[in-house]
Chains A and B, each alone.
Chain A
C-alpha cells in the first residue's frame, strides 16, 4: 500500500535509494541560511525535484503562517500555488524542511503526527547554537511514515556533480 514497500524490491532500489538524502551543497546552504534568517521563528520550505528521481533541485522557501518559535505551517494559499507548479513541472516535494530554534534537529511529536508525505525527506535544521549568526547548525534528514521516524544519511555533493 505504501511506497515504503518499494524499498524492499531491488529493481526499485536504484530509483529510490530511500535511506540517504543526496543534496547539493548550494541547496543545503540555502536551507541553513533561511533557518538563520528567520530565527527565533521556525523557517520552513521545500526542495522540489523531478518525480521519480529522488533528487532535490528547486529550492522554495515558504512562509511560516504561524510566525512562531515553536510551530510552523505553510501558508495555505502559497502551498496551493507551489503544489500546482510542481504538478505542472511533474515535480514532487523531495525535501520538506523546517527549523527548530531551541531544540535539536529531531522530529517533534507534532512533526511526526502531522507528517503527510511518506515519500519526502524531512529535513530538520537546528539553529539553537547559532541563532541568526554564522556558527554550528545541525542538519539532519528523516523519513516519517505512519508515525515511524527513520533517520537517514545526508550526502552533500558539490555543485554540478
Chain B
C-alpha cells in the first residue's frame, strides 16, 4: 500500500527538508519501517521500546492512532499519515 507520510519541521533533517515522503506497508509499523529505509534515523525519533513515543502524535486519515490500533493500525492505499510533535510541557 502506497501512502503519503507528512513530516513535521523538527524531523525534516532526516528527510533532506522534505515535508512529505512516500511510504508503503499494510500497517503503520510497516510504513514507518519503509520511511526509515529511505531516511535512516527517523524511526528512533518516532518509536521507543516498541511503541510510539509519548510526545509524538501520529494520525492516519486524521485519526490519532492511539484511538485506533497504534502501530498495528491497518493502512490502505492512498491513506495519509501525519506526524506532529505534541505540544506539551509542565
Contacts and interface: CB of A to CB of B under 8 A. Distances in A.
Interface residues of B, number: 18
A151 interface: no
A117 B9 CA distance: 8
Secondary structure dominating the interface of A: mixed
Counting contact residues on chain A (CB < 8 A from B), the size range is 20 to 34
Contacts of B89: 71-72, 98, 107-108, 110-111, 114-115
Nearest to A70: B90
Nearest to B55: A114
Interface of A: 1, 44, 46, 62, 66, 70-74, 76-77, 79-80, 83, 96, 98, 107-111, 114-119
Contacts of B9: 117, 119
Contacts of A72: 88-90
B82 A80 contact: yes
